[in-house]
Amino acid sequence: MLKTILIDGPMFFMSLCEITLIVAFMTEKQSTKGRRVFCTALALFLFITVNTVDYFVVDASNASTALQAPLCFLTAFTYAVYGMEMNGKTAVYCTGWAYLLTELAVQSVMSVLSGLRISSPAIFLAVYLCITACGYCFVKKWLSGKLRFNNHYRVGREKILVVILVVVVYTILANYQFIFWLLGSEPGNQSNIISVFRVIVDIACLIFLYMQNSIEKSQMTERELDMLQQLWYRQQEQLHISQENIDLINRKCHDLKYQMAALRKLGDGREINDQLMEMEQAVMIYDSVIKTGNPVLDTVLTEKSLYCEANHINMTCMADGEKLDFVEKVDLYTMFGNALDNAIESVMHQTDVEKRVVQVAVFQEKKLVMIRVRNYCEEKPVFKNGFPVSGKEDRGYHGFGLKSIRYTAEKYGGGVVCQAADGYFVLQILLPIP
């Protein structure tokens, strides 16, 4: 029985390899001990079941061997959905890749072992385990990263159709009857031409899938850059509008202060004096303008501080704006605008007004300018690749805002660091001083 399972048929190797590769394709995620036990038990159950079915149902002397590939594909897909908790589209895509990689390994290894006339089950088992481990490392360390975009498998309708088409085409081309028809005659028993043909077709299918994914990633990167550029132009327009509005408000408030002082000298009535005091409080915006030494930084901080005041948000600022004179106006407005928008959006969800706190700091540290935006955050966001992942509770910490900040910081040779601790979320932008 052991010889039949390990040597006479490829089901043991195929099922072992495909399930292992599905695990390798899975992105890193936190899991409980109970979940890990369930995944291990499910993998063992599927592995034993498919090999048992193969042993009692599949007969190598007839066409029933055609059932082996669909059985392995179904097993790997089931484990991807219920074990690795992939959605349907991602499971089909990863299972397609696992199926083609497994076929490549099986055709190569089985041909070599049979050519060397090895008949020891222990050697077969050792080779299977070694090749499976190498396949796991290859997928985990390199291939899965190449197939993901921003740490996610972006699998749409077109991608699903392509992977299904490629799997179907390979299955048809790898069929014995098709190969015999292509050759015009049946090859001898000792010929490896069938395995060689399958390996060539398999490699071609894998290259096609990889190229299709690379082209899609390039297109998505171009679209993202286009959107960031559009946002940059919008920020440029917003900067001009904000500067004009704040300058206009400041001039009007300045004039009104002197006019009210003149009116107070003309009238002694208490009612007139009370009305003038209310008017003075209304135009206190002139005295609340933030002065950092950088006109652009003054504009964006004043604009956001007015919004914070209207929404009962405590925004404090300690900034040496002159240290940022080397940054272009729109880039400076974009970085601070997006950073403050994210922080404000986060604290707006706080029902406790005392927790609506946003702190801004700009200072020099050695040969670097440090920009730090700190805000209260009750729930610690989940981080991947150093940045918070998107979530309904953390909408202010993802999307094109952080991407735009990172893109702008990298433009000046700097970087972005995000941290969450002690109930606060901290965004730090480091820019080297030229």
- The 10s digit of each residue's pLDDT in 32-71 is 888 889 999 999 999 999 988 888 887 665 555 678 888 9
pLDDT of residue 398: 42
DSSP state of 382: P
Between 9-23, 96-110, 282-296, the lowest mean confidence (pLDDT) is in 282-296
Q: Residue range 164-184: average pLDDT?
A: 77
Q: What is the pLDDT of residue 67?
A: 80
Strands 424-432 and 368-376: antiparallel
DSSP secondary-structure letter at 66?
A: G
Residue 396 has what pLDDT? 40
Neighbours of 116 (CB within 10 A): 9
Residue 76 has pLDDT above 70, yes or no: yes
Query: Closest Cα to residue 224, out of 150, 333, 155, 330?
Result: 150
pLDDT at 410: 86
Q: What's the whole-number mean pLDDT along residues 75-89?
A: 92
Q: Who's near 204: CB < 8 A, 6+ residues apart?
A: none
Residue holding tokens 């700009």? 362
Specify the pLDDT at position 7.
Answer: 60
Q: Is the pLDDT of residue 391 over 60?
A: no
- For the segment 263-290, the average pLDDT, to the nearest whole number, is 58
Q: Note the pTM of the prediction, 2 decimals.
A: 0.61
> What's the whole-number mean pLDDT along residues 117-137?
87
Residue 346 has pLDDT above 90, yes or no: no
Residue 286 structure tokens: 């002139």
Query: What pLDDT, on the 0 to 100 scale, is given for residue 92?
Result: 94
What does the pLDDT read at residue 222? 74
pLDDT (0 to 100) of residue 393: 44
Nearest to 102 by CA among 14, 43, 168, 25: 14
* pLDDT over 90 at 27, yes or no: no
Q: How far apart are CA 139 and CA 238, in angstroms?
A: 46
* Torsion sign, CA atoms 167, 168, 169, 175: positive
**Res. 187: pLDDT tops 60:** no
pLDDT of residue 395: 43
Can you say how many angstroms the Cα of residue 424 is from the centroid of all Cα atoms in its chain? Answer: 23
Tell me, what's the pLDDT at 124?
A: 85
| Alpha-carbon gap, residue 151 to 147, rounded angstroms | 9
End-to-end CA distance of the chain: 73
What integer pLDDT is reported at residue 177 of this predicted model? 61
| Range with the poorest average pLDDT among 91-105, 223-237, 345-359 | 223-237
pLDDT at 19 over 80: yes
Nearest one of 160, 197, 190, 154 to 175, comparing CA atoms = 197
Q: Does residue 317 have a pLDDT over 80?
A: yes
Report residue 102 as tokens.
């497994």
**Any idea of the CA torsion for 89, 93, 98, 100, to the nearest 10 degrees?**
140
Residue 82 has pLDDT above 80, yes or no: yes
Sign of CA dihedral 384, 386, 388, 390: negative
pLDDT band at 229 (very low <50, low <70, confident <90, very high): low
* Alpha carbon distance 311, 363 (integer Å): 27
Look over the chain and give the mean of its residue pLDDT values, rounded to a whole number: 79
